[in-house]
Every structure is written in structure tokens, then in C-alpha cells.
């Protein structure tokens, strides 16, 4: 919008023509935001706040009177605070390039002064100390003109053709050369020793290789000789194993054939013989039982017949006694004894007949046989 001005992030906007700025400055400082500016009545200018660089190449003389050419670089910028912007704006607003020139001159003066109080050895060996002293002595003067230094670095120090720095470094170079020579000699010696060790190792390796080759050749010859001798033996052994295998196979076949014959002929024959034997035993047992039954039937019939005739036998015996002169001494008891004797004789006759016919005898001591009348 017309009349509204905004500075860049690395710029400070200076507005003049109105109220005075901080500390009676002829302008007001605006950073980081915009502001309305009345045209014609106000004037706006911009001061850079970005980083600047200044290079210094200065001819200096040391405390020893030795001339040195020193090259350095300074990194600086306008301070961020309002006071520094006002100071820098009053000095460099119209010619901002002059900031680098003025900064280089300020540092050159301080650099000459500090180097003049030091020796070449101190300058060479303590370069960071030199830079720090130059930076510290320049800060106050730089702040007066609104500038702040971020870094100061010495790039090189040259003594021209005097050769002082080189001469100063000669002892160190000599020591370094001696150390290098020693190191080289040690390296050479180590290399020679390594070569000797390698040669010995190679010779040992060749010797061991020859021994191994000889042992290998001898072993090959021995194995070949054994193979040549073992050929017929191996063949005979193989034939023997074949014969043994064939014999085992034949025995196995014979066992199988025997088992087959047993299963096909012997077992059926044994079974048939056992069947015939069982039938014969059964038939004989049947006939025995039949004979015993018949004999028992005949004995029973005979016993029945004898028993039926026993009264007649006793009668005949009694009849034979009818004409006999028998004296009975004890009356009725004596007569009973005679009758009992007749019956006993009849039974004796019955047992005799049974014995002759194969009939079992009547057991002794058994009671009298009862006869049905």
C-alpha cells in the first residue's frame, strides 16, 4: 500500500523528517516490521545488517627488527542494537562500502602494533594468540562506529627473502629429517629382515614340499604295489564270497522246499493217519462196549435161570435126605441147621457154575439170596 514501508530481514529502515530518534539521532530506526511513512514529509533510507568481509595485507616489523608480511581476513557487520545502527548509519549510510575499507585500516593498525611487540618465534608458534589480541584491541574502536567483529583469522606470515622463518625451522627440519632417516633405516632393516625371513620361510616351504612330495610318491608306490599283489587275492576272496552266497541261497531254497513238502504231503498224511487211528480206537471201543453188554446180558440170563432152578436143586437135595438116617440132636435148631446147609450147598453150586461161565462170583460175606416163590 502506498506510504507503508517494510525493511528486509537483514536491513534497518531509517526514517528522517519527523521526530528525532534515540539519543537525539536525526532519524528513527525500524527493524523487523513495517511503518507508515508520509510521502514528501518523511524520507526513508535502508542500512544493511548483513555480514561483510575485509581483507588485510600488512607489512609489519617484529620486536627483533625482522620484516614480515601478514595476511588476514575480518568478518564483521553492523550491530543489531539501535545504538550501533544509529552510529553506523551516521557514518556509512551514504557510502556503505566504506565500512570494509575502514575496518581493514583499523585492524591493520592494531596488527602492526601487536606484531611490533612480539618475536618471530612467538608470532609463528602462537598465531592464535596474536589473532585474539588484535581482535580484543579492535572491538572497542569498532563498536564506536557501530560495527561488531565476528571473526579474525591470520591467513599467512611471510618473511620475504630473509629466510629467518626457514632458518628457525631448520633445527626442526633437521630433527625431522633425522627421525625420517632413522625411520627409513628401521624400515629398511625391517624390510631386509622381512625378506630374509621370507627367504627362510620359502626355503623351509620348499624343503617341506619336497619331503611331502617324496612321502606322497612313496605312499603311491606302496599302494600300487599292494594293489598289484592284492588283485588275485581280492578276486579269490570275491569268488569265495560268491560261493558262500550261492551256498546260503541253496540252503535257503532247500529249507523252503522242505517246508513246502511238509505243508503239502507230511501234514496231510499225518492228519489222515490220525483220523484213521481215532476211527479205529472209536470202533474198538464200540465193539468192547457191545461185547461187555452182551456178556453182561448172558450172565444176567444165566443168573436168572439158576435162581429159578435153585428151589428145585434144594428140593432134590432134600429129597436125597429123605431116606437117610439123620439124627437131630438139638430139635428144631438142628433141623434149621440142616436146611441152611442145603441152601448153602445150592449157593456153592451156583457160584461154581458162574465161575465156569466167567460170571463174577458172589462176594464173600454177602447175605443170603432171596428167592421168589
Side by side, the strands of the sheet bearing 67-78 are 52-61, 67-78, 147-158
**Which three cell numbers mark 43?**
524520507
Quote the pLDDT of residue 74.
92
Quote the pLDDT of residue 41.
78
pLDDT band at 361 (very low <50, low <70, confident <90, very high): very low
Quote the pLDDT of residue 29.
86
One DSSP character per residue, 42-63 reads: -EEEEEE-S-EEEEEEEEEE-T
For residues 299 and 111, give the distance between their C-alpha atoms in angstroms, rounded to a whole number. 175
Closest CA to 301 of 368, 353, 259, 250: 353
pLDDT tens digits along 303-318: 666 667 666 765 665 6
pLDDT band at 336 (very low <50, low <70, confident <90, very high): low
Asked if CATH classification 3.40.50.2000 holds for the domain at 51-168, the reply, yes or no, is: no
Kindly tell me if the per-residue pLDDT of 71 is higher than 50. yes
pLDDT tens digits along 202-249: 888 888 888 878 887 788 788 777 767 666 666 667 677 767 877 887
Kindly tell me if the per-residue pLDDT of 152 is higher than 60. yes
Kindly tell me if the per-residue pLDDT of 269 is higher than 90. no
For residues 114 and 134, give the distance between their C-alpha atoms in angstroms, rounded to a whole number. 7
pLDDT tens digits along 13-24: 888 877 766 666
pLDDT band at 340 (very low <50, low <70, confident <90, very high): low
Average pLDDT estimate for 323-336 = 51
Quote the pLDDT of residue 114.
92
One DSSP character per residue, 231-245 reads: HHHHHHHHHHHHHHH
For residues 133 and 122, give the distance between their C-alpha atoms in angstroms, rounded to a whole number. 13
pLDDT band at 102 (very low <50, low <70, confident <90, very high): very high
Domain ranges of the chain: 51-168
Amino acid at each position: 500500500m502506498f506510504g507503508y514501508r517494510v525493511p528486509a530481514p537483514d536491513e534497518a529502515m531509517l526514517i528522517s523528517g519527523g521526530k528525532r530518534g534515540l539519543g537525539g539521532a536525526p532519524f528513527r530506526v525500524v527493524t523487523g516490521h513495517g511503518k507508515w511513512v508520509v510521502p514528501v514529509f518523511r524520507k526513508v533510507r535502508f542500512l544493511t545488517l548483513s555480514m561483510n568481509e575485509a581483507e588485510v595485507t600488512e607489512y609489519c616489523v617484529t620486536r627483533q627488527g625482522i620484516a614480515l608480511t601478514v595476511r588476514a581476513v575480518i568478518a564483521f557487520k553492523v550491530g543489531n542494537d539501535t545504538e550501533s545502527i544509529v552510529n553506523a548509519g551516521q557514518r556509512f549510510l551514504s557510502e556503505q562500502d566504506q565500512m570494509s575499507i575502514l575496518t581493514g585500516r583499523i585492524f591493520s593498525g592494531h596488527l602492526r602494533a601487536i606484531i611490533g611487540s612480539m618475536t618471530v618465534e612467538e608470532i609463528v608458534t602462537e598465531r592464535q594468540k596474536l589473532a585474539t589480541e588484535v581482535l580484543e584491541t579492535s572491538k572497542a574502536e569498532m563498536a564506536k562506529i557501530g560495527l561488531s567483529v565476528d571473526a579474525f583469522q591470520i591467513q599467512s606470515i611471510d618473511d620475504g627473502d630473509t629466510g629467518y622463518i626457514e632458518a628457525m625451522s631448520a633445527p626442526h627440519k633437521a630433527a625431522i629429517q633425522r627421525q625420517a632417516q632413522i625411520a627409513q633405516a628401521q624400515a629398511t632393516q625391517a624390510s631386509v629382515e622381512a625378506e630374509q625371513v621370507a627367504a627362510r620361510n620359502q626355503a623351509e616351504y620348499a624343503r617341506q614340499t619336497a619331503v611331502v612330495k617324496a612321502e606322497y610318491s612313496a605312499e603311491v608306490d606302496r599302494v600300487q604295489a599292494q594293489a598289484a599283489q592284492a588283485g588275485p587275492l581280492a578276486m579269490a576272496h570275491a569268488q569265495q564270497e560268491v560261493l558262500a552266497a550261492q551256498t546260503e541261497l541253496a540252503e535257503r531254497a532247500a529249507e523252503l522246499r522242505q517246508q513246502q513238502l511238509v505243508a503239502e504231503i507230511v501234514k496231510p498224511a499225518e492228519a489222515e493217519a490220525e483220523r484213521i487211528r481215532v476211527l479205529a480206537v472209536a470202533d474198538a471201543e464200540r465193539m468192547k462196549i457191545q461185547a461187555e453188554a452182551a456178556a453182561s446180558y448172558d450172565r444176567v440170563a444165566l443168573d436168572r435161570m439158576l435162581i429159578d432152578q435153585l428151589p428145585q436143586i434144594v428140593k432134590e437135595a432134600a429129597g436125597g435126605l429123605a431116606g437117610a438116617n439123620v439124627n437131630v440132636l438139638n430139635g428144631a435148631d438142628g433141623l434149621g441147621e440142616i436146611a441152611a446147609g442145603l441152601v448153602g450147598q445150592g449157593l456153592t453150586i451156583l457160584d461154581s457154575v458162574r465161575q465156569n461161565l466167567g460170571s463174577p462170583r458172589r462176594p464173600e460175606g454177602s447175605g443170603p439170596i432171596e428167592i421168589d416163590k
